[in-house]
């Protein structure tokens, strides 16, 4: 039986993407070669890379607006390092908003490069909300934030108005909601939530942002190198890029971000309504900051745990256990998760209420 996959990432991708990616492992675009054995310099794969880079910008509404899209390796964690390396000036400073484990991971890497100002943090409240009143130092080289906090189930709805370049880790909500993406100077996102399998990271960079630090940057860490080499500085993760392209094509055919956003809102509303209505559950994140991608919730009474776990597992739900730093449950409702899966989960929650 196919599971209802609520995993936080790697996570569910569209079934049609699994089918097309499987077919390409046997015979990629009628080349008589597998996508796993074809040269990354072949014209067939170069076309994949070009289309993936162009489509990522198109879906974000950034075509023709002076942005480059790259598909890199090292996960979003590598960008925690590449961002300060490429953007923080020698003797410069950077500003960071601390909204969770991943944000603080990015802060840790920046500190190795220079003065790193944490403009606000919700750590003292176990990251249950997004701090809103903060000031960004006017002499910071950039401001870094995390649009969706995968572990704590919070999401930024507002981004600061500032003249300082904004860098955003969108790993867990990219392509899920409409934003004015042109407000950001650098966006990065590990593929393994809304875009594809683990193994590649989308990095979108505005022209004019780079080459201002006075640092000597090793090639593999230098964004400019990757731009100059059209995301082929070294062997790219061929299969991850191809599968990401298939997912982006799926999203485009569906109507792009505005279409998927409606589905995501419907799924989140269904689940949060049940969390709020059902007396046996409670949400962990501040209501106004609740994530539409990752819903975190607890049982009011831990004694119901075995009963509830059996109910959702019997219903075919998978990947619902919360992260160890929050406990309870986390329902990740990425783009490819159908509404029907949320209905199945809500049914299990109602069943618990009925029999507990
Ligand atoms: N940022 C966010 C928001 C994430 O959710 C994750 C992973 N779940 C990361 C960064 C780290 O990504 P990676 O494992 O690809 O390095």
Q: Kindly write down the DSSP assignment for every residue of 186-208, as one continuous string.
A: EEEEETTTTTSSTT-EEEEEETT
Structure tokens at 91: 């003797």
* 202 in Cβ contact with 188 (< 8 Å): yes
What topology does CATH give the domain 15-254?
A: 3.40.640
DSSP H stretches of helix in the chain: 15-26, 43-59, 75-87, 101-111, 223-228, 238-254, 256-277, 305-314, 339-355
Ligand 1, atom 5, residue with closest C-alpha: 150
- Residue 322 Cα distances to 133, 135, 242, 296, 298, angstroms: 29, 33, 31, 7, 9
Q: For 281-307, how does the pLDDT look when each residue is reduced to its tens digit (9 = 90+)?
A: 999 999 999 999 999 999 999 999 999
Q: How far is the CA of 351 from the centre of ligand 1 (A)?
A: 34
* 316 in Cβ contact with 307 (< 8 Å): no
* CA distance linking residue 149 with residue 130, whole number of Å: 9
Q: Where in the chain is the domain with CATH 3.40.640.10?
A: 15-254
- For 257-355, the fitting CATH number among 3.90.1150.10, 3.40.50.720, 3.40.630.30, 3.40.50.1000 is 3.90.1150.10
> What is the position in ligand 1's atom list of the atom closest to the CA of 80?
10
> What is the position in ligand 1's atom list of the atom closest to the CA of 198?
15
Mean pLDDT of 89-100: 98
Does residue 312 have an active-site annotation? Answer: no
Mean pLDDT of 156-165: 97
* CA distance linking residue 347 with residue 139, whole number of Å: 52
The DSSP code for 290 is B
Band (pLDDT 50/70/90 cuts) for residue 278 is very high
Does residue 102 have an active-site annotation? Answer: yes
Q: For 3-41, how does the pLDDT look when each residue is reduced to its tens digit (9 = 90+)?
A: 999 999 999 999 999 999 999 999 999 999 999 999 999
* CA distance linking residue 218 with residue 222, whole number of Å: 6
Q: For 173-227, how does the pLDDT look when each residue is reduced to its tens digit (9 = 90+)?
A: 999 999 999 999 999 999 999 999 999 999 999 999 999 999 999 999 999 999 9
| Residue pointed to by tokens 């209420």 | 353
Q: What is the pLDDT of residue 251?
A: 98
* CA distance linking residue 93 with residue 52, whole number of Å: 34
DSSP bridge pairs for 172: none
Q: Where in the chain is the domain with CATH 3.90.1150.10?
A: 257-355
Of the candidates 98, 185, 193, 267, the residue annotated as catalytic is 193
| Residue pointed to by tokens 């100059």 | 228
Question: Using a 6 Å cutoff on CB, does residue 171 contact ligand 1?
Answer: yes
Question: Using a 6 Å cutoff on CB, does residue 172 contact ligand 1?
Answer: yes
Q: State the Cα angle at 169 between 164 and 173, rounded to 5°.
A: 125
Q: For 114-158, how does the pLDDT look when each residue is reduced to its tens digit (9 = 90+)?
A: 999 999 999 999 999 999 999 999 999 999 999 999 999 999 999
- Which pTM was predicted? 0.98
Does residue 250 have an active-site annotation? Answer: no
Q: What is the pLDDT of residue 1?
A: 80
Average pLDDT, the chain: 98
Structure tokens at 128: 């249950």
> What is the position in ligand 1's atom list of the atom closest to the CA of 78?
16
Of the candidates 98, 102, 185, 312, the residue annotated as catalytic is 102
């Amino acid at each position: 039986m196919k599971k209802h996959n609520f995993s936080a990432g790697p996570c569910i991708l569209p079934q049609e993407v699994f089918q097309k990616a499987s077919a390409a492992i046997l015979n990629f675009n009628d080349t008589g070669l597998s996508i796993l054995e074809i040269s990354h310099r072949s014209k067939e794969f170069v076309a994949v890379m070009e289309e993936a880079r162009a489509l990522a910008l198109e879906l974000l509404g950034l075509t023709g607006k002076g942005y480059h899209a790259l598909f890199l390796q090292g996960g979003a964690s590598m960008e925690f390092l590449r961002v300060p390396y490429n953007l923080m000036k020698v003797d410069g400073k950077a500003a960071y908003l601390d909204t969770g484990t991943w944000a603080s991971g990015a802060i840790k890497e920046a500190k190795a490069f220079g003065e790193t100002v944490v403009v606000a943090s919700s750590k003292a409240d176990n990251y249950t909300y997004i701090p809103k009143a903060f000031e960004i130092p006017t002499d910071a080289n950039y401001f870094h934030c995390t649009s969706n906090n995968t572990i704590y189930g919070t999401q930024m709805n507002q981004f600061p108005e500032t003249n300082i370049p904004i860098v955003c880790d969108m790993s867990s909500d990219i392509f899920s909601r409409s934003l004015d993406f042109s407000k950001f100077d650098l966006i990065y996102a590990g593929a393994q939530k809304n875009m594809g399998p683990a193994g590649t990271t989308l990095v979108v960079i505005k022209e004019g942002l780079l080459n201002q630090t006075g640092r000597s940057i090793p090639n593999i860490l230098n964004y400019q190198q990757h731009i100059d080499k059209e995301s082929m500085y070294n062997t790219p993760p061929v299969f991850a890029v191809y599968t990401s392209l298939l997912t982006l094509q799926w999203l485009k055919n569906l109507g792009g971000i505005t279409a998927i956003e409606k589905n995501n809102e419907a799924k989140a509303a269904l689940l949060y309504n049940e969390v709020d209505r059902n007396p046996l559950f409670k949400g962990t994140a501040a209501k106004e900051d609740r994530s539409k991608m990752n819903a975190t919730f607890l049982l009011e009474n831990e004694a119901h745990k075995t009963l509830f776990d059996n109910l959702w597992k019997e219903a075919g739900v998978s990947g619902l256990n919360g992260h160890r730093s929050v406990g309870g449950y986390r329902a990740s409702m990425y783009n490819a998760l159908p509404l029907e899966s949320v209905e199945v989960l809500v049914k299990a929650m109602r069943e618990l209420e009925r029999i507990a």
